[in-house]
Amino acid sequence: MAQRLLACTSCHARADTAHGTEYFPRISGKPAGYLYNQLVNFRDGRRQYPVMTYMVTHLPDPYLREIADYFASQHPPAPPVAQSPASPALLERGRVLAVQGDPARKIPACIACHGKALTGALPTVPGLVGLPRDYVNAQFGAWRNRTRQAAQPDCMATIAARLTLDDINAVSTWLARQPFSADARPAPALMQPLPLACGSVP
């Protein structure tokens, strides 16, 4: 599988490197159910990125599951913590959104779904630590303009629509600065019911 998936690791980083680029996410160690869902979404047109679509268009479900299982089992070194400039006020706003949310605007905290340590949960909730700021920003933008979609109800599209651009900048900047251990793993299960319905979570 490692040899077959060299095309994937050219963007998403090899197992012996800490991270990819500012625009490609770390996929190693993420829940297999989440990775499988994303491969299907690219193949079926719910996510839009030509290179990914080209690579998975003709692949059957069993092979997509094999790819997902492979990357879920990989745990490369932890990426370095981002050091991009940010004001204390911006970081505090990001922290509040991540750990408390904004109940007045019906915005749940990131930790309500992605776990207290923000490392995700099996089988389908991804971790957020270790992701580049620019990638997270881009995904919020994709949810807002509907070029990234998931199984209905699409909970992240709902949340993204409630966030301002300043909110998105704050939370993505804060998340990118959080330390990430190479020993981090997704939680074995969600610790509490999700704050809103999410079609990607069984």
Question: Coil, strand, or helix at residue 185?
Answer: coil
Q: How confident is the model at residue 181 (pLDDT cuts 50, 70, 90)?
A: confident
Residue 185 lies in a domain: no
- Do the beta carbons of residue 191 and residue 113 sit within 8 Å? no
Position with higher pLDDT, 72 vs 19: 72
User: Residue 88 is part of a domain; what is its CATH number?
Assistant: 1.10.760.10
DSSP state of 107: B
| R_g over Cα of the chain | 16
Domain housing 33: 6-176
Phi, psi of 59 (to 5 degrees): -90, 135
Q: Is residue 188 part of a domain?
A: no
Q: Has residue 92 been placed in a domain?
A: yes
CA distance 58 to 36: 15
Q: How many domains, in total, are found in the chain?
A: 1
pLDDT digit string, tens, across residues 55-87: 999 999 999 999 999 999 998 887 778 777 899
- Among 108, 99, 92, 82, residue whose Cα is nearest residue 163: 108
In terms of pLDDT, which residue wins out, 202 or 51?
Answer: 51
pLDDT score of 190: 92
